Amino acid sequence: MKRTWQITTAIDAAQARIALARLAAAHGVPTVERSRLAVTLSSHLRQCLTKGGTWLLSLQAAGSRREGRLHVVVTPPAEACAAGEPPWELTVPCPEAAPASDADVVPDGTDALAQALLGADEDTAVILDKLTEQEKLVAFHREELHQTNQGVLALHAELDAAGRAQREAFAAERRARTEAENARRRLTFLADASAVLTASLNHDEIVRRLPDLLVPEYARSVDVWLFDHDDGKYRTTPHPAAAVVAARTGRPQYAADHPGGLPGVDDQPPSALDPGRPLLCIPLPTRRAPLGVLTLSPPGERWDPDDAVMLIELTRRASIAIDNARRFEHNRDIAETLQRALLTDLPATPDLCLAARYLPATHGLNIGGDWYDAFRQPDGGLITVVGDVTGHGLHAAVMMSQLRTALRAYAVDGGSPGRLLTRLHTFLHHLQPDLYATAVIARFHPDDPTLTWAAAGHPPPVLRTADGRVHVLDAKPGAMLGIPLTQEIADHTVRLTPGSTLALYTDGLVERRAQGIDPGIERLAAALGGFGPAELGTDLEDAADRILRPLLSDSERDDDVCLLLCHLRDGAADPVAGQPA
């Protein structure tokens, strides 16, 4: 279907517009689209009337039943076309096809035009109503969008706050992890350094180790000032004023041109000796008074407060280690002096050469219950004895001294070795019921070639005869001295020939925990039998050292060692006796 109208006057334009609107309504064009078509066409027709001439308005409906379109074309006059003005076109979709009718016929007359225009106003009213609905809908959506925007803004604010809180939590966690790692590092260092300081019982060694522990991680330099070593042994620089204040007050001092802010530390002016270098002066405390002052310079600009607390604690532990080492050294000196006083000088005899060795255990105080002795009896006999009181330390040494004194007192009345050990057993049982001892006594007499000996719980004597053969005198010994039973300890005898050598010893020489005592006795017998015919008589002191050397190859011993060698001189073979030990 195609319709054409000539537009020359405004009435032509109005009639064409009305006809076009009716046809669009007949083809089911929606009101809004129909009104938009009419307004657009009216605006273009107004321009055509302004230009003048005869214009052609064509309307063509095309398409299927389900989908159609209206194609509007306004063709300019011939002269305008010749001038190159193009036609104006507009296409409007229409849902349905209109049946053949006279919808495009517009009656003449102003009344009909007015009525048609009023009908167009109805479309405008419908559009205005829809526009009002759309405005309400737009207002609703605008409010909804505003609320949504407010929610989004609030959500963004919450997310931003949550992000800040999360970042702060992460930062706090990193700080806490760093602090925990630093605390673990300090505690590990403190534990390791404490183990190093307490591993030695030599206070000089402890003082020497302090700079190695602290430089360069915690200090650039370390100066140790010990009050009783003011001879300069441990001083590397003169004492700063802050160190003197720390020594006088017993409180740590920080000397610098700025406050230290260190907990438990007093601030002092910078040292006149080195104003540009901060100093931390920490006293070495003890229960009585400070031992000295430890002066440190920082590895950087200043110390971390936690590092300073750790350094103060380490100094306290170092002071305890130094004080304990000094106490040990003092007690050790007392013990060694007492031990030397308790060990007697061996008597010199024309027929018998004696050599003795005493070695304290390598652990603890160098004093114990082992002892040796040799003395004459009124009848001219010579008593030699080696004993061992259970335990170590001053108590064992005091008990050993009492047994040695009691043995000498009993020997004045005479008596064989077995009888003397029996009396010592009774004496120890009544004097110290919870203390025990072992002993071996050998008696030599210049007028008798027989050796008499007795043992109480003690390792057997080892005898080397003049022909080089070695015998372990393992006749049944008595029980330990001091055990709660009555016993009579028997004597044993063996014939001696000049050139024979008897070895009395304690179990510390031959016994090892992993091997027992028998292998040690065999090694002693082998060492004694390894000498040449004249070596023992030539230098018994050297022989004692040569015996000890292979038997004490262990780096450490946990028991005292005592050895007494008795060599019966051979007048024809032995030279003049050497000096006794």
3-class DSSP state of 18? helix
Which pLDDT does position 113 carry in this prediction? 67
pLDDT tens column, 426-466: 998 888 777 899 999 999 998 888 999 999 999 999 999 98
- Asked if residue 552 and residue 409 are part of one domain, the reply reads yes
Query: Are both 312 and 424 inside the same structural domain?
Result: no
Map 393-447 to HEC letters: HHHHHHHHHHHHHHHHHHHHCCCCHHHHHHHHHHHHHHHCCCCCEEEEEEEEECC
Q: Does 123 reside within a domain? A: no
Q: Which of 106, 138, 167 is the last residue of a domain?
A: 106
268 and 304 share one domain: yes
Confidence at residue 362, expressed as pLDDT on a 0 to 100 scale: 54
Q: Looking at the domain assignment, is residue 175 inside a domain?
A: no
Q: Please, what are the averages of pLDDT over each run of 10 residues along the chain (581 residues)?
A: 85 83 82 83 87 87 72 88 87 70 57 64 77 88 90 92 92 91 91 90 89 91 82 62 91 91 91 88 87 91 89 93 88 74 80 89 64 91 92 74 90 92 92 86 91 95 93 92 92 93 92 83 92 86 90 68 91 41 30
Query: 184-223: per-residue pLDDT in tens?
Result: 999 999 999 999 998 888 888 999 999 999 999 889 999 9
Q: How many structural domains is the chain composed of? A: 3
Task: Give the pLDDT score at 571.
Answer: 58
Q: How far from chain centre, in Å, is Cα 142?
A: 64
pLDDT at 503: 96
Bond before 252 cis per omega within 30 degrees = no
Q: Does residue 457 lie in a domain region? A: yes
Is 559 contained in some domain? Answer: yes
Q: Is residue 233 part of a domain?
A: yes
480, 552: one domain: yes
In Å, what is the CA distance from 39 to each residue of 61, 105, 146?
Answer: 20, 20, 35
Give one word for 489, left, alpha or beta, with left for phi > 0 and alpha for psi -120 to 50. Answer: beta
pTM of the model: 0.56
Q: Which domain holds residue 99?
A: 2-106
Is there a single domain that holds both residue 331 and residue 353?
no
3-state secondary structure 149-213: HHHHHHHHHHHHHHHHHHHHHHHHHHHHHHHHHHHHHHHHHHHHHHHHHHCCCCHHHHHHHHHHH
What integer pLDDT is reported at residue 579 of this predicted model? 36
Look up residue 521 and give its two tokens: 């006795």
Shared domain for 470 and 510, answered yes or no, is yes
| Separation between Cα atoms, residue 369 and residue 342, nearest integer Å | 11
What pLDDT is stored for residue 429 in this prediction?
Answer: 86
> Which of 56, 83, 106 corresponds to the end of one domain?
106
Using the structure block, give the residue that is written with the tokens 């305008």. 80
Q: What CATH number corresponds to the domain at position 489?
A: 3.60.40.10
CATH of the domain at 321: 3.30.450.40
Q: For residues 307 and 349, state if they share a domain.
A: no
188 located within any domain: no
Are 296 and 377 in a shared domain? Answer: no
Residue 133 domain-assigned? no
Q: Is 253 helix (H, G, I), strand (E, B) or coil?
A: strand
Q: Are residues 363 and 511 in the same domain?
A: yes
Mark whether 349 and 254 lie in a shared domain: no
313 and 410, same domain (yes or no): no
Same domain, 82 and 208: no
User: Which of 281, 308, 337 is a domain's end point?
Assistant: 337
Q: Is residue 251 part of a domain?
A: yes
Q: Where are the beta strands (DSSP E) in 227-331?
A: 253-255, 266-268, 279-284, 292-297
